[in-house]
Amino acid sequence: MFLSDKKIEELIQKGEIEITPFDKEFQLQKNSVDIRISNRYYRYPKDIEVELEMLDPKNPYLNILERDYVSEKGVVLEEKKFLVFESLEYIKVPENIAIFLAPKFRLSRMGLEIVNTGMIESGFEGSIEICVYNTNDLPVRLFSNMSICHLFFAKVE
């Protein structure tokens, strides 16, 4: 069962759940916490993108993502492409709390999908890598500090 906003807030105040930075008024929803993208993202190097015909997990050269930074004008996610963003927030949960990552509906309406939605193991600590795919036939501009997904918290027994 997912935790309510009151229970999430209580666990944050007790230090059992850590979310840094955290703005209660902006991020805390009825039973989730909005997570934002940082100014860091990863993509395939532009110099090899033209040559890519197939990704092969046995060829590490073709699976190298390079880090880039979101400018003040944002970053454009081209149609049928994906980028991997780091969450702005650092998250830490205890062994008895698991996290469920879900996309924000307003971004889904623009054709953006969060590829790695689903459960994150209990005891997780760190920034979350958020894989964003543009299913649209139009490019979409994304900005740092933009809310991109929800985190739902659940007790593990």
Q: What is the pLDDT along the chain (157 residues), one digit of tens a residue?
A: 899 999 999 999 999 999 999 999 999 999 999 999 999 999 877 666 555 666 666 766 556 778 899 999 999 999 999 899 999 999 999 999 999 999 998 888 999 999 988 899 999 999 999 999 999 999 999 999 999 999 999 999 8
Which structure tokens are listed for 30?
Answer: 């009825």
pLDDT of amino acid 49:
58
List own/partner pairs for 49-53 with CB under 8 A and 24 or more apart: none
Domain count of the fold of the chain: 1
pTM: 0.85
Q: Which alpha helices (H) appear in the chain, and where do they start and end? A: 5-14, 24-27, 46-49, 105-108
Q: Is 127 left (phi over 0), alpha (psi -120 to 50) or beta?
A: beta
Kindly report the CATH number assigned to the domain that includes residue 77. Answer: 2.70.40.10
pLDDT in tens, 62-73: 567 788 999 999
Quote the pLDDT of residue 60.
Answer: 62
Cross-strand bridge partners of residue 113: 133
Q: Which domain holds residue 57?
A: 5-155
Q: For residue 125, what pLDDT is reported?
A: 97
Residues 6+ apart with CB under 8 A from 118: 100, 101
Residue 114 CA to residue 83 CA, distance in Å, equals 10
Helix (H) or strand (E) holding 42: strand 33-43
> Is there a contact between 153 and 3 (Cβ–Cβ < 8 Å)?
yes
Q: Cα 44–126–39 angle (5° rounding)?
A: 45
